[in-house]
Structure 1
Amino acid sequence: MSTASAAQIIDGNALSAQLRTDVARRTTALKTRGLTPGLAVVLVGENPASQVYVRNKVKACTDAGLHSVLEKYDATMTEAELLARVDALNNDPAIHGILVQLPLPKHIDDHKVIEAISPAKDVDGFHIASAGALMVGEVGFKACTPYGCMKMLDSIGMKDLRGKHAVVIGRSNIVGKPMAMMLLAANATVTVAHSGTADLAHHTRQADIVVAAVGKRNVLTKDMVKPGAVVIDVGMNRIPEGEEGAGKLCGDVDFAGVSQVAGYITPVPGGVGPMTITMLLVNTLEAAERDADQRGLV
């Protein structure tokens, strides 16, 4: 029996490379105006996954020609010390974007730290002002992961989603909720499903676009997908010991099954992941471009 994929793969690595080339070009143009985009990445503690993410973000910045500062602190750093550091970065003219890597140690309030970041430098798009701007259609920074998902839809000719039904599985502030708002802004009809949703498959089988973002393996299987649908897999999980492929990364979607019926699908790894970092670069660059315009640099 053949397991060949019927779906076309939306290659996040290839699309990221295209977008980063544009970021590098615009960064060079900004430098000729006398301004170098700057991103400060703050890491508190020794979380291994966070260390990998931070390293990748800093490298991506450097490769695109941006100025990047990595600040690493022990897990014993107090909340007051971190808030003071964020305040200093808010007032540093060389820094246009501030990213505090989550999760933070338990004695530090994530929400309080995020809200301390200036909305003008909130390149993660997590500040309540950014969320509010997205809700009402004002200019602000879009959360990087759903922003990357929208770019992936753009890349397959799905910019205006008028008449399309999109189902978002997950309602987190980082992905699910902003994803729904961005899809609405693109004229899709949006259903947000979550742990309290009865008969998830009833909703997903009607969807032209499914975005799976709950951090749970095989939440979406072949029988739950309409033929030809676009499936965006935001999940990042590891196959447990004792199963075939143990230790390897996988998403929320049963890729082998769903790819037989979907029209387009994103892989894990190599799908949404690289796009998230790319949109962080885009947001940082846009913050710097706004700064240059405000300063009247020509």
Structure 2
Amino acid sequence: MRRMVSAIVAFVTAFWGLAAVAPAAQASEAVPFSVPGQEVVVGCGHAEAAVQVAWGVGSLSLRYRLRDTAADGRSPVLRISAVAADGTTADHVFDDGTVASARTAGEGFGPWGGEDDWNPGTIGAVASLTIKVSNGTTAEGALCTQHANLYNWSRLGLRNAYEKEGAPYAWGGEGPGYDCSGLVYASYDEVAGFPGWPVRSAQAMYDWARTHTGQDRVYAQQVPYSELEDGDLVFYDTDGGDDGNITYVAFYAGDGTVFDAQLGTPVGRHADWVNFRVGAYRILGATGWTA
């Protein structure tokens, strides 16, 4: 059993300096997303950046704001990089043409900026963002630097699942054969930095997702079926009842298909059992560190 992830948000906030942006407080200043997104504040010293991201299939929506919280003669600096599932990276280019945006020291809040359909260099489906905030430019002498990564864990898990295509079905298997939840469990377990599923069965995964929607190091975001993206987890009651009993889980794989481990067939892409759906969730999260 992997270690539990409940109550990690307190540790994240205290140790890494990450905090959720209060959507209500930002509503008058932020450009709202058409779909729910991740919202974090990253900062050190008197430098602070608020960053919002809403994940898309081939691109994402990005919003950011840089702030100097007190005059200390040093400018806050923000850098954002996109990372694909295979590790390919590309920097965000700000309006001034640089990859590191700096506020003039003492200017306080900057305006919100961003892009609606950002996929720098068409690197493929962006799976995570790396955010770097410094209190001071290189010329001024940075007093500190804070890093954060925002993850679409579901997309990273799907990439690992694809590598298991053709593996046999095995009840309770987590490799080399797999059952439905075993494929999900093992695929996430191979994601670098993922702290591990706290549960194992399809029912337990569903119960965990429903009760862990607060933004944390690992959390679940409920997704409408009309907005399913590659990697989202779809849960099913294949018994056909209406009691909410979860008997199956699969990765959504686009175009009405799922990637899963079904009884009697090798791991691979299959038709989505639309009539048996109970709910869908995207697994997201954040980590951070101070340099």
Shorter-chain TM-score above 0.5: no
TM-score, normalized by length of structure 1? 0.28
Q: Which has the higher contact order (CA 8 A, sep 6+)?
A: 1
More strand by share: 2
